[in-house]
Structure 1
Amino acid sequence: MKENVAEFLRRTILKIPLSEMKSILEAWDFLSEDQLQTINLKQRKDYLAQEVILLCEDKRASLDDVVLLDIVYTQFHRHQKLWNVFQMSKEPGEDVDLFDMEQFQSSFKRILQRALKNVTVSFRVYEKDSVWIRVAWGTQYSQPNQYKPTFVVYYPQTPYAFISSCHLKNTVPLLHQALKVASKHHQIVHLDLRSRHLDSLKAIVFREYNQDPFLSSWGGGKAEGRRGLWRLLHLIGAPCMSLGVEYDYQLPGAPSPPTEAELFGCWNLHLMTRAGLPLWSEGSDSRWMDFLRRLCCIFCCS
């Protein structure tokens, strides 16, 4: 195993929490079950990393193998990335093509590698409904930086993709082009949605895309308020407990639809977050707190 690959593997192992080490190495599916049994998970992490490196050297691990471990780690710790939501579209009246995973991966990789001499592109199908793409960018004069990759999470059955922040801004248009062409779409737009809570973002756009009967039955209200409501979950949905909002998952049935005043309040909430204002403070009105809890229940109990 090359020295740079061994160092990349060492750093990847060192950032994995000991409590998750076994689960992540098993999900990686590179080492055999017998090899995993030989690893002492109670030793210091730097010794553990060296033990894993020796096992991987016996199996002649390549850079591609270690990159897959980094993808698995990121899937476990997706909240460490800042995710942006993009929506793609086809031409009006254009037929929907059957998705071919191999063709998608080949096309995506080919587009990037034709444009850039030094780029590493890796894929991992996750839970059968999404493909995780990891892109390590280099330049004309430098090898790909494996420590600052960009991740793309694409759901082939939807027009949505979630892309982590990229440290090389000049590569963003190329990444969008590769995703658009490989998925056979004609346009890609940013939805002005971003959060570290990937699952919350998915809940927002998938509810809208699937036209949930409960949500689509809401009548009246300001259009701006409804758009603000779609943004709500990544503001106070999944991360709400870390912000201090409590709500009951066991409420019987779905809450009643929001009123006109609540939709308007939701829009105000959206404006507050855009302006960087705190959602509440120690002296917040109890009615405002009840309003936030109720909106959480609308999303979490419907």
Structure 2
Amino acid sequence: MDEQAQAILQRILRRLSSKKIQTTLRAWGCLSPEQLEDLDYTQPKWLLLENLISKCEESRLRLKDVTKLEMVYHIENPNQGKWHAFKLTEPEDEAVSVDFTQFKEMFVAHLEEVVQHVSVRMKKQEDGAVWIRMAWGDNFTRPNHLKPTYAVHYLQTPYVFVLNLSAKHKPFLYQALVLSSRYTSINEAHLSCRSLTAMRDLLMKQYQQVFPNQERTLRERNAPPSNPNIEKEHAESAWRTHQMACEAFGDGAVPKLETAVYKLETRYRGSSNNTLSDRDELFRGVVKFSSSNLLESLRHCVSTGMAEAPVTPLLSSITQKGRNYFVITEKAPGATSQTPAR
């Protein structure tokens, strides 16, 4: 077993909790039940690693077998690292009928055609997700399995989620994805997060949504001024505010996004400082919201009155557009003041 294989084994053991090591190795399927039973999972990890390497050499396992274990780890722990979302656009007629076998054959063929040394492993899950592991090399070096790229694509959907992709390899992956999925192009979705599950749920609307009630909206518009001292109207007002918060961010468990970034490109307004107001250059800044569960935090702020309702489009666009990165620019005549990042 070479150094790369041993380094990958060491990295996986270091990341796994002691309780999950045995179940992960069992899911790997490359060691016999007797070999797994013979390992002492209560040992220090450095000693367990030595015994595991010995078992792998006993079974004549190689680097490609160890990369399978790494893939099992990432599939079982999808909320590791910084994932970025991409969206395929302009599907061809054949896009709806591409199956896993076709996708795999075309993807590998296209990638190997443009990259001389590349290692690709692919696996389809029961939920329809196709997991792709790519180790990149070049014309003179073999693939570096210590720095792989992971991509997750849901067939018959335009969404792709990518982990650890360098700018150098981005065009190669783009081309392989577009050609093998029968689309015309691919664009960044301006959505990134440490939770692959949250990104999938947000873009595919796999969370409990609350839709505006047309009858309630008309009743609110025609309602006479309320008396804030009446307990009943306080309760109704609180319910309406909570309803609007749920319409904007969802109800129940919501996708666990951690950040939302707004990049400002605007001009200084005011007469108190001519130095700033006379500048031709745009005034730039960045506003970043952070939380362990941003959507839940924003929903709570609106529901409790800490933030105004109805929710500003700048915040509700996170769920409506499935993004957490926005650019706010100068409002031009006939155009919106909020434009997508490029």
Fold shared, TM-score > 0.5 on shorter chain? yes
What CA deviation, in whole Å up to 9, does each residue of 1:236-264 have, x standing for no partner? 79x9556796799xxxxxx9xxx972244
Q: CA 1:42–1:243 in structure 2 vs 1: closer, same or farther (change >3 Å)?
A: farther
Q: CA 1:86–1:242 in structure 2 vs 1: closer, same or farther (change >3 Å)?
A: closer
Q: CA 1:218–1:108 in structure 2 vs 1: closer, same or farther (change >3 Å)?
A: farther
Does the CA-based 8 Å contact 1:133-1:152 persist in structure 2?
yes
- In structure 2, distance between residues paired with 1:190 and 1:25: 35
Structure 2, unaligned stretches of length 5 or more?
218-247, 261-289, 327-342
2:311 matched to 1:262? yes
- In structure 1, distance between residues paired with 2:106 and 2:67: 20
Q: CA 1:67–1:86 in structure 2 vs 1: closer, same or farther (change >3 Å)?
A: same
Does the CA-based 8 Å contact 2:100-2:124 persist in structure 1?
no
Q: CA 1:189–1:245 in structure 2 vs 1: closer, same or farther (change >3 Å)?
A: closer
Give the superposition deviation at 1:269: 8.3
Q: Which residue number in structure 2 is paired with residue 123 of structure 1?
A: 122
What CA deviation, in whole Å up to 9, does each residue of 1:159-198 have, x standing for no partner? 11101132x3121011011111111222211111111111
Higher strand share: 2
What CA deviation, in whole Å up to 9, does each residue of 1:79-133 have, x standing for no partner? 22211111113447x2544232122112111211111122111112223411110
Does the CA-based 8 Å contact 1:204-1:233 persist in structure 2?
no
Residue 234 of structure 1: which of 249, 253, 257 is its match? 257
Equivalent pairs: percent with the same residue?
26
Q: Which residue number in structure 2 is paired with residue 295 of structure 1?
A: none
Q: Give secondary structure in 2 for the equivalent of 1:75.
A: helix
Q: Give secondary structure in 1 for the equivalent of 2:24.
A: helix
Does the CA-based 8 Å contact 2:249-2:296 persist in structure 1?
no
Write out aligned runs for 1:195-234 (5 A): 195-207=193-205, 214-215=209-210, 234=257
- In structure 2, distance between residues paired with 1:242 and 1:134: 28
Q: CA 1:229–1:213 in structure 2 vs 1: closer, same or farther (change >3 Å)?
A: closer
Write out aligned runs for 1:162-173 (5 A): 162-166=161-165, 168-173=166-171
- In structure 2, distance between residues paired with 1:96 and 1:172: 22
Does the CA-based 8 Å contact 1:129-1:157 persist in structure 2?
no
Structure 1, unaligned stretches of length 5 or more?
221-227, 249-254, 276-302
Q: Which residue number in structure 1 is paired with residue 18 of structure 2?
A: 18
Q: Which residue number in structure 2 is paired with residue 179 of structure 1?
A: 177
What CA deviation, in whole Å up to 9, does each residue of 1:125-159 have, x standing for no partner? 22341111011111222222211111101111321
Q: Give secondary structure in 1 for the equivalent of 2:123.
A: strand
| Letter paired with 2:118 | V
Does the CA-based 8 Å contact 1:68-1:124 persist in structure 2?
no
Does the CA-based 8 Å contact 1:104-1:182 persist in structure 2?
yes
Q: CA 1:45–1:203 in structure 2 vs 1: closer, same or farther (change >3 Å)?
A: same
- In structure 2, distance between residues paired with 1:240 and 1:37: 42
Give the superposition deviation at 1:13: 2.9
Q: CA 1:44–1:87 in structure 2 vs 1: closer, same or farther (change >3 Å)?
A: same
- In structure 1, distance between residues paired with 2:208 and 2:17: 41
2:241 matched to 1:192? no
- In structure 2, distance between residues paired with 1:269 and 1:63: 41
Q: CA 1:133–1:46 in structure 2 vs 1: closer, same or farther (change >3 Å)?
A: same
Aligned-pair RMSD on alpha carbons?
3.7
Does the CA-based 8 Å contact 1:195-1:201 persist in structure 2?
yes
| Letter paired with 2:51 | E
Q: Which residue number in structure 2 is paired with residue 137 of structure 1?
A: 136
Does the CA-based 8 Å contact 2:5-2:66 persist in structure 1?
yes
Higher helix share: 1
- In structure 2, distance between residues paired with 1:55 and 1:139: 32
Does the CA-based 8 Å contact 2:122-2:132 persist in structure 1?
yes
Does the CA-based 8 Å contact 1:35-1:55 persist in structure 2?
yes
**TM-score (norm. length: structure 2):** 0.63
Q: Which residue number in structure 2 is paired with residue 158 of structure 1?
A: 157
Write out aligned runs for 1:288-299 (5 A): none
Does the CA-based 8 Å contact 2:123-2:132 persist in structure 1?
yes
Does the CA-based 8 Å contact 1:79-1:196 persist in structure 2?
yes
Instruction: From the CA coordinates, give the structure whose radius of gyration is larger.
Output: 2
Q: Give secondary structure in 1 for the equivalent of 2:150.
A: strand
- In structure 2, distance between residues paired with 1:97 and 1:268: 28
What CA deviation, in whole Å up to 9, does each residue of 1:15-74 have, x standing for no partner? 332222112112212222222111100011111111111111122212221111111222
| Letter paired with 1:165 | N
Does the CA-based 8 Å contact 1:107-1:182 persist in structure 2?
yes
2:88 matched to 1:88? yes
- In structure 1, distance between residues paired with 2:76 and 2:208: 32
